[in-house]
Structure 1
Amino acid sequence: MLKQRITTALILLPLVLALILLPPTVYFAAVIALVFVGAAWEWSLLAGCRTAVGRGIVVAGAAALLLAVLLIATPDLLTVLTLVGVAWWIGCCFWLRHFTFAAAPNAENRLLKIGTGVLVIVPTFAAAMALHGSDRGHWWTLLSLMIVWAADTGAYFSGRQFGRRKLAPRISPGKTWAGVYGAVLGGALVAVLGGWMLGVSDAAHLIGLGVLGVLTVAIAVVGDLFESLMKRHAEVKDSGNLFPGHGGLLDRLDSVFAALPIFVAGKMLLGL
């Protein structure tokens, strides 16, 4: 499985780098809107939509919302939506504490989870647009993803080596506190090093980036756990099978959906 995951990642990496670094923000946003629409299709299954018609309605709604954000895309709108995402992921921690909430497969819970999908996808789309369109935004966008990638790598190896105490065994049995510590360390180091390479030289801002890296990784873990919870409710192993060894789009983007609004809000707060 590890070999398959590495092979898939190596194939996808050049495409992701090209998407982030080469096009202007409007084309970047258009492509990720299509990717997020695909994620909405997978989310509809986790929300409990079992028919093609029901899932198609969810996808059409997601496409309409993302298109509206893309067409309007004022700085104020993108900032507000980003902050909505921050508030959602902080509030999501309470849902994880009560993991049986909305687990029953009824119409009310299905609608609740569809609405939750809006809070997962739309604020991240706005945050990505705001970040990519900022000064040196292509590189800041890459740094935000590198923080998540470093966290995933740190979590994997530290969890394998030292993982004993489970983080949330009833939600995701494979995750350990040692994995979280490795993720936080990896993400914080990449945030500071990346910031320095992007011209952040004063100590206060570098320390702030280190703290932001820690917070970004912490919320990324929340995003990962929340998708795992939704999969448990839906009784599926992966959100899809698009990527061999990696599952579906949501399985690859769960941490990013949570991390990006936090990173962008923190960057704004630091004045970077």
Structure 2
Amino acid sequence: MLITRVITALLLLPIMLGAVFYFSAPLWAAFAWLVIGLALWEFTRMAGIKGWPQAGYLALSSLLAVGFWQLPMPGQASLAHALLLLALPVWLLLAPLWLVRRWPLPGGMKAMLLGWLLMFPAWLGFLAWRPDGTAASATQLLAVMGLVWVADIAAYFAGKAFGRRKLAPAISPGKSWEGVVGAVLAVAGYVWLVLQLGWLQLDLPLAGLLLLALGLTAVSVVGDLLESWFKRSAGIKDSSNLLPGHGGVYDRIDSLIAVLAVSAALQRLFA
């Protein structure tokens, strides 16, 4: 299993990095939607949406993404701003409350609306952090994605080595508070490195960047746990089998979906 995971990661990483650094803005928007669209497809499977309703919903979602991209810039910017700001109450209030109350994953129209609330802001986050094809924009997006990867990897190994106290045993028994501490420490070191390298175009001192990064680490944990709860609610282990050794696309980007949306929304608010 570990060898399969590593091989899949080694195959996917060059594709992602190539897209981030070399795709034009329209091509990047299409590639990012492919990633988000696959996660949305997996979400519909969890919610029990099948057949023509599933196909129609996914087709409509893609048409909405194309329509957004075709909007003139003032209208596109205003709509993106509104949708990203909507992501803040979704991820800072609704998602934590969902985990505390352990609401079941809804079906039908409620699930479709929830899918849009989760996925569209994440897609806009991909676009907001990489507004053009310059190396500076690509590096900025990579820095945000790197925070999620560092937190995830550190949490995994810290949890394996020191995990004793379960974080949310009813939702994801494998996660521990020790893993969270490991993620926080690793992210703190990562932020210092990113600041030294000048990867982020943010006018923040180290203390402010650390505070922001630690908040986003908490958001990444919420994103991870929420998808875990959706799977448990649906009675499945993985969101799909698209990625050998990893499960589905949603399994791989659950934390990233939350962090992209929230970080892009905060950038809009305080830029």
Q: Given the two structures, how large is their TM-score scaled by the length of structure 1?
A: 0.90
Kindly report which structure 2 residues correspond to 1:91-240, keeping only aligned pairs within 5 A, or say none. Answer: 91-99=94-102, 101-103=103-105, 109-133=107-131, 136-198=136-198, 204-240=204-240
Structure with higher RCO (Cα < 8 A, 6+ apart): 2
Cα contact 1:65–1:122 (8 A) shared by 2: no
Question: Identity over aligned residues, as a percent?
Answer: 36
Helix, strand or coil at the partner of 2:33: helix
Instruction: Please say which of residues 61-70 and 152-161 is displaced more in the overlay.
Output: 61-70
Q: Name the aligned partner's letter for residue 248 of structure 1.
A: G
Helix, strand or coil at the partner of 1:246: coil
Instruction: Please say which of residues 33-42 and 88-97 is displaced more in the overlay.
Output: 33-42
After TM superposition, give the deviation of residue 60 of structure 1 in Å: 1.4
Cα contact 2:139–2:199 (8 A) shared by 1: no
> In the superposition, relative to structure 1, how do residues 48 and 199 fare at CA in structure 2: closer, same or farther (>3 Å)?
closer
The CA distance in 2 between the partners of 1:175 and 1:61, in whole Å, is 36
Could you say which residue in structure 2 is the equivalent of 1:10? 10
> In the superposition, relative to structure 1, how do residues 201 and 141 fare at CA in structure 2: closer, same or farther (>3 Å)?
closer
Cα contact 2:104–2:230 (8 A) shared by 1: no
> In the superposition, relative to structure 1, how do residues 68 and 160 fare at CA in structure 2: closer, same or farther (>3 Å)?
same
Deviation readout 1:157-203 (Å, 9 max, x if unpaired)? 10001101111111111111111111222223223321331267999
Helix, strand or coil at the partner of 1:237: coil
Q: Given the two structures, how large is their TM-score scaled by the length of structure 2?
A: 0.90
The CA distance in 1 between the partners of 2:60 and 2:252, in whole Å, is 22
**Is 1:82 matched with 2:81?**
no
Q: Name the aligned partner's letter for residue 53 of structure 1.
A: W
Helix, strand or coil at the partner of 2:205: helix
Q: Name the aligned partner's letter for residue 178 of structure 1.
A: E
**Unaligned runs of at least 5 residues, structure 2:** none
Helix, strand or coil at the partner of 1:140: helix
The CA distance in 2 between the partners of 1:203 and 1:60, in whole Å, is 40
After TM superposition, give the deviation of residue 128 of structure 1 in Å: 1.5
The CA distance in 1 between the partners of 2:9 and 2:202, in whole Å, is 34
> In the superposition, relative to structure 1, how do residues 150 and 202 fare at CA in structure 2: closer, same or farther (>3 Å)?
closer
**Unaligned runs of at least 5 residues, structure 1:** none
**Is 1:264 matched with 2:267?**
no
> In the superposition, relative to structure 1, how do residues 40 and 202 fare at CA in structure 2: closer, same or farther (>3 Å)?
closer
Helix, strand or coil at the partner of 2:104: coil
Instruction: Please say which of residues 51-60 and 195-204 is displaced more in the overlay.
Output: 195-204
> In the superposition, relative to structure 1, how do residues 110 and 132 fare at CA in structure 2: closer, same or farther (>3 Å)?
same
Helix, strand or coil at the partner of 1:48: coil
The CA distance in 1 between the partners of 2:81 and 2:129, in whole Å, is 10
> In the superposition, relative to structure 1, how do residues 199 and 64 fare at CA in structure 2: closer, same or farther (>3 Å)?
closer
Helix, strand or coil at the partner of 2:173: strand
Kindly tell me the number of residue pairs found equivalent between the two proteins: 265
